[in-house]
Structure 1
């Protein structure tokens, strides 16, 4: 039996009949998003006593045989498996081989083991190394850092993908942004709600580094796991070092110059986050929501003329009246970072990627003329939002003819863009310092979605037949429209706590309704909405009773489907 035992580091390509003793660190489902989330395989990370990490795979064909046996953290004996070469992309281990389960694989859980097998293993990379991996999809490293901020769209109740953005400060005092989408974002919120307090250290595994518009994003994947504070030894070590630094700092009254020389060497490895200021007493940095205020077009134009420059977001519902073509509807951008390319004699140069022979790709840049009853303006939509709206890539709507300084687009305004004119949308607009300058011409769109149609309020009729269009404005449709409008106005982003006085509709400074985004608040808002709906139903029932009692006295009646039927019956009696 001893001769059949093997370490993971000794594996060679082919069928392996020897036995390995491994710990199952993590496992997850790999699904094909292009085929409706079809299950492709179950992926896992295995580690042995020599601290060798290998990625394992159970195909969808064999997943029923092994699925119920999988338990993260347990130790197994593994034999009769296939050893294959590691995939060149999305690697989660540094080894050259990976393991594939087959119909003859023996995978048995052990109640106890005499071998000392690590319970965790992480592949941290420096900020410089992560930058090198960006947009290559070669490696999915792990990241750990101190929480600086959390922004979320989970509480927005707006259409589109759910997203959580974590700002983490790494060991090198560099801030990075970790993006979690959809189910991973929901899982983060669930974990956060159950944790009961704000985490100080967050560790995220299996992130995919991407550079978008010159900014680094660490995107979560199906292999990502999230750990808070002391849930891992790596997090506990980081937390203890952070706490030790603050203890020493506070002991010497926060003055670096008063620290004795013998303590200076100890402090050199414990850097104060933020570059020297103790921010432990600062306000909470996570899970606080700020309502995005809706403004009319006139209020929006007035705000940039009278308010102080700042970065802020607003909602504005307006009708698209046209598309400005003075600067065209697209631009030739870099296929990697989307920045506008510089046209050389016979090539394109991307300053952002430092590439002198960049691959060109058409990107949307559409200036919409918009209006509402209060005024007109111009909203600028870029590639991501316009692609979502039209479901057509700019590179599919037109082609680039020529290269370098002779390059141009071979078509006029695409029909998909022309069809947008005349429709009403709710725009989420992001204002920056540039919008408060004299050069400001447009407002940049950060999100864009169809505006809800609010049903008309009931009208009153004098014993005449109610038109079918009026009767169709029933209570149910009106409540649905109000709920939709309520959801639209309750869209939120996470920001530090701030309390401002409410303003009147015509004041120049916007007000913000800030609230704690937690389970109690969420359930409370739901309960209040339900209570309002019940009150609405009771009020309608009471009014219906009053109308019924007054109907025989020739008094005006509410134009609902019920009153319409009553009017018809009274006419039939008179005609009879």
Structure 2
């Protein structure tokens, strides 16, 4: 078989057809065959003149490699009638042009560009299996690093918190007629490893979101959007849809599976509870024959282990976001159930699991997503330094509880300070006695377990 001038040799299939895999596509002309599934295609327009630059495509081959495709404006009419999302094609002859550095949707260095002698045909009898899609999920840190540089467009999957400012507790109904006028819809979404982000869906993406969201009988809570751009709006990281963006689904089983794949490792490494001493609630560790309380001031020698809350939650108001840690009574007030009760219920329903098995995040905690509460927190210098950077909740109050003024909080703290002990629910410096408390595993915590004896914390809405 003769080598092509680009130095690449086509491979042969079982039927002796000559074709090339995407991983072998290099820059320059190629007189060979490609086989691929068309994931998506969209018009690329000049942002100023609004004229069509060409037709862009996202393609995937049988090895699962994704590459971007491009049809110049003068050749769109020739190929557009045959293009259908999800169909499998054969392409003979193309040019490997350099992948653009701005707003990239694929990692490949090359773009498959249609040329004057390109021949496209539909494969009706598909000889092998082609994946239907391939996603590029990244962490919140990657979104931050990519912010405002107009580089890669990443995909995002997560839980919806607000839709145009409305919570999902009382299902919102996006108005398609209104969105036709405003041209956008704003969704607050949270992926598994980051804070809540504002996601602005524009034009076709907004219309597709409304159509899918309103089509479900039950309120969808999950969202998967592809090719979003990261921008800083008003000093806050935000995501915006672009021309290649797709609303894959809002709450479908596919989205749930993708989200579960992302959060499963996080659930294992960041448990929502710990085993505490039945007396002082400090962390209990395994001894030779029994559990041992790590608090040196605790009088219990052989303690009974009791599951206690230690769950990190992402909270936000109208302008900012923070990470709170729920401990003890605060977790019970939020969920309405003790941590020990939830752990016991899980093992009763899953009797085959061993005692060391980590209980996954319960529905009682998951169902609190989207709720509004008034939190009392204890803020110390440690909250803004070190690795934890989380604020511990000491109380959860009803929304109609009036917020204390700064003067009243100061008076209350002064009155209670004498003889008061630090709360086990407050993030503070380690206890000098050496006891390891509920949040010591997160590097800092206090040693007492009674939140009512602590200095009164300041309240946050």
State the TM-score, normalizing by the size of structure 1. Answer: 0.43
Say whether the 8 Å CA contact 1:23–1:117 is kept in structure 2.
yes
Alignment match, 2:157:
144
Shift in alpha-carbon separation, 1:96–1:81, aligned structure 2, 3 A: same
Give 1:283-432 correspondences, 5 Å limit.
none
Distance 1:237 1:266 in 2: 21
* Other-structure match for 1:104: 117
After superposition, the Cα gap between the structure-2 partners of 1:154 and 1:99, relative to the gap in structure 1 and judged at 3 Å, is same
Aligned pair in 2 of structure 1 residues 3, 191: CA closer, same or farther (>3 Å)? closer
Tell me which residue corresponds to 1:20: 34
CA distance in 2, matches of 1:158, 1:224: 17
- Tell me which residue corresponds to 1:206: 227
- Where in structure 2 are there 5+ consecutive unaligned residues? 1-11, 166-173, 274-334, 348-352, 373-404, 407-461
Match of 1:7 among 21, 32, 36: 21
SS at 1:20 equivalent: strand
> Per-residue displacement from partner, 1:245-275 (whole Å, max 9, x unpaired)?
9xx999x9764554668376454xx5569xx
- Looking at structure 2, the residues matched to 73 and 58 of structure 1 have their Cα atoms a distance apart, in angstroms, of 18
Tell me by how many angstroms 1:15 deviates: 1.4
> Does residue 262 in structure 1 map to residue 354 in structure 2?
yes
Match of 2:45 among 4, 19, 31: 31
Task: Choose 1 or 2 for highest CA Rg.
Answer: 1
Shift of 1:95: 1.0
Q: Hey, what's the Cα distance between the residues in 2 that align with 1:38 and 1:143?
A: 29
Q: Which has the higher contact order (CA 8 A, sep 6+)?
A: 1
CA distance in 1, matches of 2:152, 2:262: 28
Question: Structure 1 stretches of 5 or more lacking a match?
Answer: 285-435, 438-576
Show the counterpart of 2:198.
177
Question: Partner of 2:74: helix, strand, or coil?
Answer: coil
Q: Contact (CA 8 Å) 2:35, 2:90: kept in 1 or not? A: yes
Q: Show the counterpart of 2:138.
A: 125
**Further displaced range: 136-145 or 39-48:** 39-48
1:63 aligned residue (76, 84, 92): 76
> How far apart are the structure 2 equivalents of 1:65 and 1:263?
65
Greater helix share, structure number: 1
C-alpha distance in 1, partners of 2:235/2:246? 26
Q: How many residues align?
A: 277
Q: What secondary structure, in the 3-state scheme, does the structure 2 residue paired with 1:29 have?
A: strand
- How far is 1:106 from its partner? 1.3
Deviations 1:524-572 (A, max 9, x none): xxxxxxxxxxxxxxxxxxxxxxxxxxxxxxxxxxxxxxxxxxxxxxxxx
2:249 to 220, 228, 236: 228
Q: CA deviation at 1:282?
A: 7.3
Task: Pick from 365, 376, 381 the counterpart of residue 277 of structure 1.
Answer: 365
Shift of 1:13: 1.3
Structure 2 counterpart of 1:93: 106
For the residue of structure 1 that corresponds to 2:238, the secondary structure is strand
Tell me whether 1:43 sits opposite 2:131 in the alignment: no
1 CA distance for matches of 2:218 and 2:262? 20
Structure 1 residues 97 and 235, CA, compared in 2 at 3 Å: closer, same or farther? farther
Measured in 2, the distance between the counterparts of 1:70 and 1:61 equals 16
Aligned alpha-carbon RMSD (Å) = 3.6
In 2, the alpha carbon distance for the partners of 1:263 and 1:177 equals 41
TM-score w.r.t. length of structure 2 = 0.53
Q: What's the CA shift string for 1:385-432, capped at 9, x where partnerless?
A: xxxxxxxxxxxxxxxxxxxxxxxxxxxxxxxxxxxxxxxxxxxxxxxx
